[in-house]
Amino acid sequence: MNTNEAVMEKIGKGEVKSLEEQKLDFDRFILYYTLNTGMGVWAVNLRDQPIMIGAASLGEAKRMEELHIGYRLKQEYWGKGYATEIAQGLIQYGIHRLNQNKLGATTNINNEASIRVLKKTGFILQHKILVDGVEMNYFIFENPQEPPSPNNISYS
């Protein structure tokens, strides 16, 4: 996926990652596992087939307080609901396993599909930020501390 131009144009600088950049990412991911932080990057496979269709991540991000979720899919799996399912799983994991009350996510400004996924899963656009010189959307998911009472639910 890191060498697929269509996939990578939606992520970060929109560029294919060099072998050196991929090695640095890999070393960081291994450190997460070595330190037993609960954070990391996981392969996304189809339930009924041993095929890796993407990757999911939950970890620290530069200059951001919240743990951040991330996901990417091979191009042939776009638009099938997998990104939404991944985001929902990462939210549940971050809240229930890592005891986080807030999670963050960033998207490229023009990545409409990812923006829809984040909004659908409860993330709220906060503002734009610069990440490595690239203007990005910055989203936050806040864990509701109390479930809404039946009197406070709007059905409109």
Residue ranges per structural domain of the chain: 5-103
Q: What SS3 class is residue 108?
A: strand
pLDDT at position 153 is 40
Contacts of 54 (CB under 8 A, 6+ apart): 1, 43, 44, 71, 72, 73, 74, 77, 82, 86
Q: 79-99 pLDDT, tens per residue?
A: 999 999 999 999 999 999 999
134 pLDDT higher than 90: no
Specify the CATH superfamily of domain 5-103.
Answer: Gcn5-related N-acetyltransferase (GNAT) (3.40.630.30)
Q: Which range, of 104-108, 143-147, 149-153, averages the lowest pLDDT?
A: 149-153
Percent of the chain with pLDDT over 70: 78
Mean pLDDT of the region 51-66: 84
CA distances from 62 to 65, 74, 129 (A): 9, 25, 11
pLDDT at position 89 is 94
14 pLDDT higher than 90: no
Torsion, CA 90, CA 130, CA 32, CA 46, rounded to 10: 40
